[in-house]
């Protein structure tokens, strides 16, 4: 299945890129995470398009969308509201991964009348500021300097990355490289590191528990569970579990579908299970 490659200019003059995977039924809007792009859904979207009108968006600063240099949650959710209105997506389900999950949650709090439901894939339910100082988060979330790296060297490194080596292939390579610009045989970040860290700070400041009382739509939470001997990784797993327990107390309608032994990039490693969880969830919600 080949999606329609399209652009939309918002009233703010920001131009957003998106892939329309077609399909009929309720609109489903897919949001990627930090330093990613709409291409992270390439494995999952064709499965979802059998049940929904499926659209994957490059959020501001990412993929082929404009890079305005400012990335507050208010600005990003404002983009989303204008995008949904312009495309006429009536009562969509919004599924976000990682930072995109936080965007989906914030959107459902700020625009509660728009989404029919939201799905939070390994994001949007843990509060980093409750378990880490900003200095710790800043160190952990700062990406490596890769600008100017020969593309062959970069691909060779990624192919050996333990989390994705078992699933590496030509399509995944294309998806990974879509997050970067390739010029003269070298890779460069589409999202500069200073902008990346602006979003990291927004994530650290985000307080999902304060948003839960404002959410009216059903919520699906899909945590990637990786228990580990690494204290930092295990601490983050426990923070996610704590956030989910808080959500169960404060949200009127929440369902949890854990993905055990799964990396953070659930749409890449577990596309079939991820798609099925969303299909089952959407079948249960009322119109």
Mean pLDDT over residues 85-114, rounded? 98
For residue 133, the 8-state DSSP code is -
Sequence-distant (6+) residues with CB within 8 A of 23 are: 48, 49, 50, 51, 52, 53, 54
Mean pLDDT over residues 143-172, rounded? 93
Mean pLDDT over residues 185-212, rounded? 97
Locate the domains of the chain by residue range: 4-128+190-284
pLDDT score for 286: 58
CA 177/CA 188 separation, integer angstroms: 10
- DSSP letter string, 207-221: -HHHHGGG--S-EEE
Strand partners of residue 152: none
Residue 203: other Cβ atoms inside 10 A: 21
Which residue matches tokens 């010029």?
Answer: 183
- DSSP letter string, 75-111: HHHHHHHHHHHHHT--S-EEEEETHHHHHHHHHHHHS
CA 123/CA 224 separation, integer angstroms: 9
Helix axes 170-177, 151-159, angle to 10 degrees: 120
pLDDT score for 131: 81
pLDDT tens profile 201-219: 999 999 999 999 999 999 9
For residue 259, the 8-state DSSP code is E
Range with the poorest average pLDDT among 52-61, 76-85, 254-263: 254-263
Question: In the CATH hierarchy, which top-level class contains the domain 4-128+190-284?
Answer: alpha beta
Sequence-distant (6+) residues with CB within 8 A of 276 are: 47
Mean pLDDT over residues 61-74, rounded? 97
Please say if the pLDDT value at position 287 is more than 60: no
Within the chain, strands assigned E span: 4-9, 15-22, 27-31, 53-57, 93-97, 117-121, 149-150, 180-183, 186-189, 219-222, 224-225, 254-256, 259-260
Please say if the pLDDT value at position 43 is more than 90: yes
């Amino acid at each position: 299945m080949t999606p329609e490659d399209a652009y939309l200019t918002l009233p703010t003059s920001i131009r957003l890129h998106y892939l329309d995977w077609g399909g009929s039924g309720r609109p489903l809007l897919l949001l990627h995470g930090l330093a990613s792009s709409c291409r992270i859904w390439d494995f999952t979207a064709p499965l979802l398009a059998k049940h929904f009108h499926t659209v994957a968006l490059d959020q501001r600063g990412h993929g082929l969308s404009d890079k305005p240099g400012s990335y507050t949650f208010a600005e990003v959710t404002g983009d989303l509201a204008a995008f949904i209105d312009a495309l006429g997506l009536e009562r969509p389900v919004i599924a976000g991964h990682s930072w995109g999950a936080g965007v989906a949650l914030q959107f459902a709090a700020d625009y509660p009348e728009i989404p029919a439901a939201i799905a939070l894939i390994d994001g949007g339910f843990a509060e980093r500021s409750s378990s880490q100082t900003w200095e710790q988060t800043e160190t952990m979330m700062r990406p490596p300097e890769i600008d100017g790296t020969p593309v062959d060297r970069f691909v060779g490194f990624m192919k050996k990355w333990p989390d994705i080596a078992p699933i590496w292939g030509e399509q995944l390579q294309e998806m990974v490289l879509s997050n970067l610009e390739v010029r003269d045989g070298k890779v460069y970040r589409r999202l500069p590191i200073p902008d990346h860290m602006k979003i990291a700070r927004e994530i650290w400041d985000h307080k999902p528990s304060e948003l839960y009382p404002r959410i009216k739509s059903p919520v699906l939470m899909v945590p990637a569970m990786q228990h580990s001997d690494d204290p930092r990784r295990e601490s983050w797993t426990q923070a996610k579990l704590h956030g989910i327990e808080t959500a169960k107390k404060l949200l009127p309608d929440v369902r949890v579908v854990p993905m055990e032994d799964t990396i953070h990039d659930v749409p890449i490693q577990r596309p079939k299970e991820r798609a099925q969880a969303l299909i089952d969830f959407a079948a249960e919600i009322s119109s």
